[in-house]
Amino acid sequence: MADDYSHILLTGARGRLGTELVGLMPGIRATDVDDFDVTNQASMEAAIARQRPRCIVHAAAYTDVAGAEKDRLACWRLNVEGTRNVAILCEDRGIQLVHISTDYVFDGTTGDYREDDPLGPVRNYYALTKLVAEAVARVAPEHLVIRTSFRPRQWPYEMAVTDAFTSQDTIDVIAPEIALAIGRFEAIPYQTLHIATERKSVYDLARRSRPDVRPGRRADLPVQLPADTSLSIDRWRALKESW
């Protein structure tokens, strides 16, 4: 019999990651801002009363990194206050929480960050809100913070930098791994997990889906890109091997 995920409520289901998870997890209760607005208590209460989930996967977020610098309040409200609302709901109702976080919570200088490494200092306001969001997500007694990073299936730019390193991958590679972790929530004896792939340059990643991409340097970009945001995935690898 196919797996059934109808005990799980997903926030931000129309987003990049949310859309993939909906396709991968039959029965998952897909919600977005119109039926589970994480900044609106009444909207959340109504959805919980209807759906009675045992687990919430919180993928809704303000993800426009440049936009966050201009509209800090909107970013804080969604990423910090929204996550706090979800976490308190989970605490009150005994619901498991899977919170989706980012490699940007690290400073991005040395790379190969392990789950227990110190966070920050962050590079931008989006990253700051995601760092605080992790802390508030931990209010939920049964929680798992998944740090990850992903790109679209096809590299969208003509250029990619050779001097920035990452363990991110395309969404079609990352989303099934996240779906696997969500489905195995109870078999994961940690509260933080990195889900990514091997360390590589952004250029090497881009070339996989766009072989003619032009190599560039970080200094050519209009935005400051950290040198190495790669995550150690030893924990996730060992877990999967044990299953």
Ligand X SMILES: NC(=O)c1ccc[n+]([C@@H]2O[C@H](COP(=O)([O-])OP(=O)(O)OC[C@H]3O[C@@H](n4cnc5c(N)ncnc54)[C@H](OP(=O)(O)O)[C@@H]3O)[C@@H](O)[C@H]2O)c1
Q: Which residues are catalytic?
A: 126
Window 39 to 58, contacts with ligand X (CB under 6 A) = 39
Q: Report the residue number, 126 or 203, with the smaller CB distance to ligand X.
A: 126
15 binds ligand X (CB under 6 A): yes
What HEC string does the chain produce? CCCCCCCEEEECCCCHHHHHHHHHCCCCEECCCCCCCCCCHHHHHHHHHHHCCCEEEECCCCCCHHHHHHCHHHHHHHHHHHHHHHHHHHHHHCCEEEEEEEHHHECCCCCCECCCCCCECCCCHHHHHHHHHHHHHCCCCCEEEEEECEECCCCCCCEEECCCEECCEEHHHHHHHHHHHHHCHHHCCCCEEEECCCCEEHHHHHHHHCCCCEEECHHHCCCCCCCECCECCHHHHHHHHHC
Q: Report the residue number, 106 or 150, with the smaller CB distance to ligand X.
A: 150
Among the residue ranges 11-19, 48-56, 187-195, 226-234, the one whose residues contact ligand X (CB under 6 A): 11-19
230 binds ligand X (CB under 6 A): no
Candidate list 5, 37, 192, 195; residue touching ligand X; CB under 6 A: 37
Tell me, residue by residue from 183 to 222, as one string, x for binding to ligand X by CB under 6 A and - for no binding.
----------------------------------------
Least distance to ligand X, CB of residue 113, Å: 13
Window 108 to 147, contacts with ligand X (CB under 6 A) = 130
Site residues, ligand X (CB under 6 A): 11-12, 14-18, 32-33, 36-39, 59-61, 63, 78, 82, 100, 102, 130, 148-150
